[in-house]
Amino acid sequence: MQRLPGVGPKTAQRLALHLLKRPETEVIALAQAIMEAKKQIGLCKECFHLSAEPICEICRNPDRDSSTICVVADSRDLIALEKTREYKGKYHVLGGVISPIDGIGPEQLTVQALIQRVSKQKPQEVILAISPSVEGETTTLYLGQLLKPFTKVTRIAFGLPVGGDLEYADELTLARALEGRRELD
Ligand SMILES: [Zn+2]
């Protein structure tokens, strides 16, 4: 339990004790649901968002604007942006941010696929929507340099404090950040 994100020793113990007290059928149902989800959910071949199909719902949706690709660190951030209902374009999920300390370089992320996608699909704009942590900044600047030869590259305007997490920003703040995006120099 303690290996789950955001779960400290106390919560881990509380969860474990709770599960042990529940009827066996309930616990088995939970375990099966987790296994099912793990088996069925993979990554979209196009944008790398979580998906039960080879190509996710957003990529398949003809009403989504293909001329804009919004780059996010992970699916949680994509879901946060979707909740604003402001964005009608497509996405690209990196699978993390560049973090040399953790051994995460561009090769561990979907950077190569992004470059290929952008060079092939030639979108009018790529929006970088990555949390403004030190690693996030590094990733934004790195991607900006790589993508600028192909298209206009913008970054969302954070009214968020540095180190603030995209996922935790409220919908209005995120919508404004998206609206106030500016071109990367
Ligand atoms: Zn997709």
User: Is position 85 within any domain?
Assistant: yes
User: Is position 162 within any domain?
Assistant: yes
The residue type at 113: A
What is the whole-number distance in angstroms between the Cα of residue 20 and the centre of ligand 1?
38
Alpha carbons 164 and 161: distance in angstroms, whole number: 5
pLDDT in tens, 15-54: 999 999 999 999 999 999 999 999 999 999 999 999 999 9
Alpha carbons 127 and 125: distance in angstroms, whole number: 6
User: Is position 174 within any domain?
Assistant: yes
User: Is position 14 within any domain?
Assistant: no
What is the whole-number distance in angstroms between the Cα of residue 146 and the centre of ligand 1?
22
Which residues surround the ion ligand 1 when the cut-off is CB under 5 Å?
44, 46-47, 49, 56, 59
CATH number of the domain bearing residue 127 = 3.40.1360.10
pTM of the model: 0.82
What is the domain extent for residue 88? 64-179
Alpha carbons 180 and 176: distance in angstroms, whole number: 6
What is the whole-number distance in angstroms between the Cα of residue 105 and the centre of ligand 1?
23
Band of the pLDDT at 161, cuts 50, 70, 90? Answer: low
CB-count burial class (<10 Å; 0-12, 13-18, 19+) for 73: buried
Alpha carbons 74 and 97: distance in angstroms, whole number: 9
Structure tokens at 75: 């699916």
